[in-house]
A and B are shown apart, each in its own frame.
Chain A
Amino acid sequence: MTQLLLFNVFNGLIVGAFYALMALGLSLILNLSGVINFAHGGFLAIGAYLAYALMPTIGFWGALIVAPFLTALLGLVVERVLIRRLYGRDPLYSLLLTFGLAYILEDGTRYIWGAQSLPFPIPAWLTTPLSSEFFFLTGYRLFMVLLVAIAVGGLFLILNRTRLGIRIRAGTLDLETVSVLGVNIGVLRNLNFGLGIYLAGLAGVLAAGMLGLQPTIGTSLIMPSFVAIIVGGLGSLPGTLLGGLLIGVASGVTTVFFPSATEAVMYVMMGLVLLVRPRGLLGEEGRTQ
């Protein structure tokens, strides 16, 4: 029993790391632009399918690098052409827009690549379990966690050390002042959106390696990311990371005791956090933007 619990905690951390990667992208966009990006799951699917399409020519590693960038590029275009028009309006407008966009992206992948699930081959040396005891630690899952760690580290470096990152953080706190100080916030928001979508694309390629390709891949993964943001605390990126890991572990542990509630437990957690600590675990009091 203890072993079973321990296994599930470990495994939950692996799964949670993945949720966190998605949630961080969502959170970035939400914090700076106030856009609840429903289409995040759609971009994730695009990233996955682009990698699938590119793989025959540039291989798995090439696709892993190129596909998220192409997805981010698409994100930049979408922000420039569609989302930008809705800044400053009620958040519900952008919500509706991205809601529709999510359908378009999902059905777009279905139209181009078909409704049928497709296998996504990954290098053979990554697919084997590392030990027979800890069989759930396959090379690929560790690789995923490693990559998530690198991506998260990179993101925090960008936010803390680069001019762009510092401006993004400043803009999150007070966009007007940043604008008055002469920063082009149109460009800032655009790049920030692209950065968020890059994370979605990366999550897509990683998810495809674990789950294979389905047009619904994004839709099924987006809900845990929303929950991660709310549990971790709106506006706090470390909170989002923590939220992702926590719900992963919670689902894993629930399997031991009450398997059919593994999904429900996330929402129960969300409800509890909202009741007891409405700003989320690491959210800051009074700052909900």
Chain B
Amino acid sequence: MSNPESTTKPLQRRKVIQAAAGASLLQLATPFIIPARAADNVKIGLDNPLTGTYAAVGKNELIGCQLAIEQINAKGGINGRQAELLVEDSTSGDAGTAVQKARKLIERDKVDFLLGNVNSSLALAMAQVSAEKGVLHVVPGGHTDAVTGTSCHWNVFRICNTTQMEANAVTPSLIKNAGKKWYFITPDYSFGHTLQSGLEKACKANGGSTIGADLTPLGTTDFSSYLIKAQAAKPDVILFLTQGDDMINALKQAVQFGLDKRFHLAGGQQELEALEGLPPDARIGTWVFEWYWNQPGVPHVAEFVADIKKKTGRVPTARTWFGFASTWTCALAANNAKSLDAVKMAKALQGLKLPPEVALMPDGAFFREGQNQLIPDLYVGHAQAKGISEDDLFKVTEVVKGADIAGTLAETGCKMTWPS
């Protein structure tokens, strides 16, 4: 007993189980840093994933925000004041953390604008907070319809498309290239649910049918059992609606199993981040991109690509553009309203067309009045192992105008009420 090292306290089963419960927290909680800041700056608070399954896309949105802040300040700032970005890690899937960080940004840091979130469910939760506090909120990249649909708010604007818009844009090409019998591998949260129902609706309208669908928990690493089930149903197309690392794992395993030789593997939304994470032989299928860096002849795109490359050494992705356009939206709202009053700024954004150096698309992009949804171009095409360069992993075959596939305002279910 004299040697303290030799006495191990008995380890109880209870401790191990408590520890296992604790381990699940590991995936949620995360610390982050707040840099020092000046008092009279206009503050934009970004509450977005920097850890977890959406860390890569979240970081790219952050880089887009940072470039926009530099440009805004170089062009005279927001109403003559310097703009400043405050960053918080919302985590990739914990709504509690996202809401807590949003409250911190609004109540303690007194931000003038709130940005976020990549995760649709987190975006919806944050929108509740921003609406309650009356802070202008731009959602860069959370796609579920409700954000600018049934749960729309006067103060919440969105840059990325609704899942229904993505579904409407890509479905005709999918039916034509891949076939009419669809099987879905869908992530089990709001984004996946609405993307699937959007695609099912569009599929039916184009004469196709759904013959099966499986919901997969967010963060699934092994998709083999779902794939076994999907191939047994003998569809024409297996659609992968998972995103981020889940997309990479699912598609990669499907190709390892040789399913690409028996079925069309495709989906709705695809992102450059996921294609970069895939081995070249798994870069296949018909998809929709929401923005793409290789747009020959579209003004200002080359400068934007060069600016981002200077910062990161890599080409911008749709996520970089989401962050960029979101931050610029804040500046445009304030400068057009000549005020930082949220209601005045929200009014100033109704119907606003983004200037070409922000829109970076052939047909431009505008915020639809009464919905606060940006209506941009969408890029339908197919993934490719390698194009004109290492970063050219998507071949755009068709640019779809957002206005043609956005549906009517009534269809979105958005009934906006303004504060009196």
Digit string of A1-14 for contact with B (CB within 8 Å is 1, else 0)? Answer: 00110011001101
Q: Does B15 count as interface, using CB distance less than 8 angstroms?
A: yes
Digit string of A133-152 for contact with B (CB within 8 Å is 1, else 0)? Answer: 00110101000000000000
A251's nearest neighbour on chain B, judged by CB, is: B225
CB < 8 Å: which of B5, B9, B17, B30 contacts A186? Answer: B5
The answer to whether B55 and A115 have CB atoms under 8 Å apart is yes
Binds A, one of B133-141, B171-179, B250-258, B359-367: B250-258
Q: Does B12 count as interface, using CB distance less than 8 angstroms?
A: yes
Q: Does A220 count as interface, using CB distance less than 8 angstroms?
A: yes
Q: Given A221-B221, A260-B216, A274-B17, are A34 and B9 neighbors across the interface (CB < 8 Å)?
A: yes
The answer to whether A36 and B258 have CB atoms under 8 Å apart is no
The answer to whether A110 and B15 have CB atoms under 8 Å apart is no
- List A contacts of B278 (CB < 8 A): 119, 212
Q: Given A127-B256, A288-B11, are A223 and B23 neighbors across the interface (CB < 8 Å)?
A: yes
- Give A136 to B273 CA distance when docked, in angstroms: 26
Q: How far is the CB of B121 from chain A (nearest CB, A)?
A: 15
Digit string of B195-225 for contact with A (CB within 8 Å is 1, else 0)? Answer: 0000000000000000000111101111011
- Give A14 to B12 CA distance when docked, in angstroms: 31
B53's nearest neighbour on chain A, judged by CB, is: A216
Q: How far is the CB of A225 from chain B (nearest CB, A)?
A: 9
- Give A284 to B8 CA distance when docked, in angstroms: 19
- List B contacts of A119 (CB < 8 A): 252, 277-280
The residue among A15, A103, A119 with the most chain B CB atoms within 10 A of its own CB is A119
The answer to whether A89 and B9 have CB atoms under 8 Å apart is yes
- List B contacts of A129 (CB < 8 A): 256-258
The answer to whether A262 and B220 have CB atoms under 8 Å apart is yes
Q: How far is the CB of A123 from chain B (nearest CB, A)?
A: 12
- Give A160 to B222 CA distance when docked, in angstroms: 34
Within 8 A of A (CB), among B86-104: none
Q: Does A215 count as interface, using CB distance less than 8 angstroms?
A: yes
CB < 8 Å: which of A38, A92, A140 contacts B23? Answer: A38
The answer to whether B19 and A226 have CB atoms under 8 Å apart is yes
Q: Does A236 count as interface, using CB distance less than 8 angstroms?
A: no
- List B contacts of A136 (CB < 8 A): 224, 227-228, 257
Within 8 A of B (CB), among A26-74: 30, 33-34, 36, 38, 41
The answer to whether A117 and B4 have CB atoms under 8 Å apart is no
A124's nearest neighbour on chain B, judged by CB, is: B281
CB < 8 Å: which of B215, B226, B279 contacts A121? Answer: B279
Q: How far is the CB of B417 from chain A (nearest CB, A)?
A: 35
Q: Does A182 count as interface, using CB distance less than 8 angstroms?
A: no
- Give A138 to B226 CA distance when docked, in angstroms: 16
How many A-B pairs fall under 8 Å by CB? 203
The residue among A14, A220, A221, A270 with the most chain B CB atoms within 10 A of its own CB is A220
Q: How far is the CB of A92 from chain B (nearest CB, A)?
A: 7
- List A contacts of B53 (CB < 8 A): 214, 216
CB < 8 Å: which of A210, A215, A289 contacts B10? Answer: A289
The answer to whether A117 and B217 have CB atoms under 8 Å apart is no
Q: Does B392 count as interface, using CB distance less than 8 angstroms?
A: no
The answer to whether B220 and A263 have CB atoms under 8 Å apart is yes
Q: Does B416 count as interface, using CB distance less than 8 angstroms?
A: no
- List A contacts of B59 (CB < 8 A): 115-116
- List B contacts of A84 (CB < 8 A): 5
The answer to whether A34 and B277 have CB atoms under 8 Å apart is no
Q: How many residues on chain B are close to A (CB under 8 Å)?
A: 66
Q: How far is the CB of B395 from chain A (nearest CB, A)?
A: 20
Within 8 A of A (CB), among B61-113: none
The answer to whether B229 and A255 have CB atoms under 8 Å apart is yes
Q: How far is the CB of B330 from chain A (nearest CB, A)?
A: 25
The answer to whether B24 and A223 have CB atoms under 8 Å apart is yes
- Give A221 to B26 CA distance when docked, in angstroms: 12
- List B contacts of A102 (CB < 8 A): 26
Within 8 A of A (CB), among B227-278: 227-229, 231-232, 245, 248-249, 252-253, 256-259, 262, 273-274, 276-278
Q: Does B389 count as interface, using CB distance less than 8 angstroms?
A: no
Binds B, one of A162-170, A196-204, A227-235: A227-235
CB < 8 Å: which of A12, A95, A138, A252 contacts B256? Answer: A138
Q: Does B16 count as interface, using CB distance less than 8 angstroms?
A: yes
The answer to whether A8 and B258 have CB atoms under 8 Å apart is no
Q: How far is the CB of B53 from chain A (nearest CB, A)?
A: 6
Q: Does B307 count as interface, using CB distance less than 8 angstroms?
A: no
- Give A14 to B55 CA distance when docked, in angstroms: 29
- List A contacts of B1 (CB < 8 A): 176
The answer to whether A11 and B224 have CB atoms under 8 Å apart is yes
The answer to whether A179 and B6 have CB atoms under 8 Å apart is yes
The answer to whether B225 and A11 have CB atoms under 8 Å apart is yes
- List A contacts of B279 (CB < 8 A): 119, 121, 212
- Give A186 to B3 CA distance when docked, in angstroms: 11
The answer to whether B17 and A212 have CB atoms under 8 Å apart is no
The answer to whether A8 and B252 have CB atoms under 8 Å apart is no
Q: Does A156 count as interface, using CB distance less than 8 angstroms?
A: no
Q: Given A115-B56, A259-B229, are A211 and B221 neighbors across the interface (CB < 8 Å)?
A: yes
Q: Does A91 count as interface, using CB distance less than 8 angstroms?
A: yes
- List B contacts of A221 (CB < 8 A): 221
Q: How far is the CB of A72 from chain B (nearest CB, A)?
A: 22
- Give A256 to B230 CA distance when docked, in angstroms: 10
In the complex, 17 of the A-B residue pairs with CB atoms within 8 angstroms, ordered by the A residue number, are A87-B4, A88-B9, A107-B51, A110-B55, A116-B59, A117-B273, A117-B276, A135-B259, A179-B6, A210-B256, A212-B279, A216-B55, A223-B23, A226-B19, A234-B13, A263-B220, A274-B17
Nearest 9 CB-CB pairs, A to B?
A117-B277, A255-B225, A260-B215, A259-B214, A115-B55, A226-B20, A34-B11, A179-B6, A119-B279
